[in-house]
Homo-oligomer: A and B are copies of this chain.
Amino acid sequence: MTLTHTQELFRTAGDGDRRALGELISRVENDRRESAALLAGMCGDVDGFTVGIVGAPGVGKSTLVGALLGILATERPRVGVLAIDPTSPISGGAFLGDLIRMQAYSGQPNVFIRSMATRGHQGGLSQSTPEIVEVLRALKFDPLIVETSGAGQVDVEVRDVADTVVVVVVPGWGDSIQVAKAGLLEVADIFVVNKADQPDVLAAVRDLERMLGYSRNDKKKRVPKIVLTAAASGTGIRDLWTEVLAHQAYLASTGERIERRRRQLATIIKRMALADLEPAWSDGALVELADHVLGRKLKLADAVAKAKDVVGKLL
């Protein structure tokens, strides 16, 4: 059996070839067919560990990731960072600043950092993030850190790829009501109050604690830990990592780890199946149907039936 070029890249990347890894990720990101073919034979790796770092713009997520790399680069054999940035209207790509903040570690052979744009996808994650995470898991990156620059409910998506979700806030960002409004309360396994050298940090912590107390409808559910950091000076970073490892142990001991993996894979299966049917939802086809509806040639129900006809032809 001969390997396809993508499978060959996967093998070479597994041997530690960073250039092959970079090319591999680009393929998974840009070529859905190649991505699907590569994932087709996989069964989902359960060994690796993915940490999501989410929060509003400006709370210092990239600085925090950089500080974490200061620990991980010396303690872990293979560390990955996916930094997901909205497309910049200026550069047409990811924001350079975030990369610059992390680049101190990008030269290390065991650290792989990749910055990706969101490309107008309606979520905080890049269109192909779940597939890329799955491939990096299979390549034994552990941990893999997924940083999303988005703010708000969008970050709920991070649950689809991360085992442990770290929500970063800062004093003065707003009170806990804002955290709740942004939908971050439900996804947080750990809260980081960053820039903890600023005033009002204790008020911010009390406020979070009160909110976490209120929301404990389910008494069996684990209450998220709160960690104080000042990432720019490295303060609290070791504490944060210790809490991440504690959460990892919690997931393993309760069976929730395999449950989260199941949900992550369910997402991948759904995405792959939907992607196969994508031509039925192509902009051109749908807009043409919509045009007939607006022109009173079709009712909405007729247009829906026609879209489903296309699905049938794709099966």
Contact = CB atoms under 8 A, between A and B. Distances in A.
A223 interface: no
A277 B120 CA distance: 25
Contacts of A181: 57, 85-86, 88, 95, 149
A251 interface: no
B151 A43 contact: no
Given A174-B57, A181-B57, A186 B120 contact: yes
Given A174-B58, A290-B262, A304 B214 contact: no
A44 B286 CA distance: 14
Interface stretch (A6-14, A105-113, A268-276): A268-276
A278 to B, nearest CB: 11
A307 B269 contact: yes
A157 B152 CA distance: 13
A303 interface: yes
Interface in A43-62: 43-44, 46, 56-58
Interface string A225-269: 000000000000000000000000000000000100111111111
How many copies are assembled? Answer: 2
Interface in A4-27: none
* Interface range, A side: 35 or more
A308 interface: yes
A185 B42 CA distance: 39
A180 to B, nearest CB: 6
Contacts of A154: 122-124, 150, 152-154
Interface stretch (A67-75, A139-147, A190-198, A292-300): A292-300
Interface in A63-120: 85-90, 95, 118, 120
A88 B86 CA distance: 27
